[in-house]
Amino acid sequence: MLVLLQKRESRFLHHVGVNYFFVPWISFLLLLQSAPFFTPKSVSSLILWWVFAVPVLALDVKIYGQWFTKGKRFLSTVANPTSQLSVIGNLVGAQAAANMGWKESAVCMFSLGMVHYLVLFDVFVTLYLRLSGSDRLPVMLRPVFFLCIAALSVASLAWESIAGAFDTASKMLFFLSLSLFLFTSLTNTFQEIERSFNVAWWAYSFPLTVLALASTEYAQQVKGTIAHLLMLVLSALSVLIALCLTLFTLLNMH
C-alpha cells in the first residue's frame, strides 16, 4: 500500500502524469450526461455534478497555481500536450452544467478552459518546433498531440449547450478542430511516433469521437449534403479507429 501511495504521489508531481488525474472525472461527467436517470435540475444530478466537478477545479488550482507562482520559464518547461486534459475537464464540466441549466457556472468553467487553451496554444508552437529534440514528452506519448483536436471539439459542443444552438461560435470552434485534424494528419507531426503498439495510441480515439459528434451537430444545424457527407466520413473514421485500437489491444495483451 505504501509503495502504491508513493507511486501515485510521484505521478501527481510529474509534469505529464498529473494531467491524467483529470481523466476519471472527465469520464464521470460524460457518463453523467448520458445516464438514463440524468434530468436537468434534479437533486441527484446536481449532487453528482459537484462530486465530479470539484476534483477538476482542485486540480486546476494545483496546476495553475504552479504556473502563476513559478513563472513563464516553468510553464515552458512543464507544458506538454497532455496539459490539454485539464482544458477538456473544464469544458466537459461546463457542458454538463449548461445541460442542467446552470448557465453562469457553465460560462465560468468554459472561460477558464478556453483561457487555459490559449495559454497552451501559445506554447504549442514552441513544443512543435522542438518536438524532435525535446525530452519533455517520451516518444511513446506523441499521440497525445491529438488532444488539441479534442479540446476544440469539446469546446464546440460545450458552447452549443450554453447557447442552446449550434451557432456561429460553435461552428468556428468545430472548423478550427477540423483544421487541426487535417494539419496533424497531413504533416510529419507523428513521423517519430514509436511504431510498436502501446496504450497511448488510444489518444487517437477520443479526439476523433468528439470531432464526429461535433460534425453531427453541425450537420443537423446546416442540413446540407456536404455537411452530412462530412459527418458520415468522420463518424466512420471514428468507429474504424476504435475497432482497430480494440483489436490491437487484444492482440498485444500479455
Q: Return the higher-pLDDT residue of 3 and 58.
A: 58
Which tens digits make up the pLDDT trace of 88-128? 999 999 999 998 888 898 999 999 888 888 877 665 555 55
Whether 71 shows a pLDDT value over 60: the answer reads no
Q: Count the alpha carbons within 13 Å of 52 in the hemisphere toward its beta carbon.
A: 26
Q: DSSP secondary-structure letter at 253?
A: -
Q: With beta carbons less than 8 A apart as the criterion, state whether 86 and 75 touch.
A: no
Listed in sequence order, the DSSP H helices in 14-102 are 23-34, 43-78, 84-99
39: which 3 cell numbers?
Answer: 434530468
15: which 3 cell numbers?
Answer: 509534469
Largest CA distance in the chain: 59
pLDDT at 124: 57
pLDDT at 170: 93
Whether 209 shows a pLDDT value over 60: the answer reads yes
Rounded Cα distance between 112 and 98, Å, is 15
pLDDT at 107: 93
195: which 3 cell numbers?
Answer: 511504431
Q: With beta carbons less than 8 A apart as the criterion, state whether 211 and 181 touch.
A: yes
Residue 225 CB coordination number (10 Å): 9
Average pLDDT, the chain: 79
47: buried, middle or exposed (CB in 10 Å: 19+, 13-18, 0-12)? exposed
Whether 161 shows a pLDDT value over 80: the answer reads yes
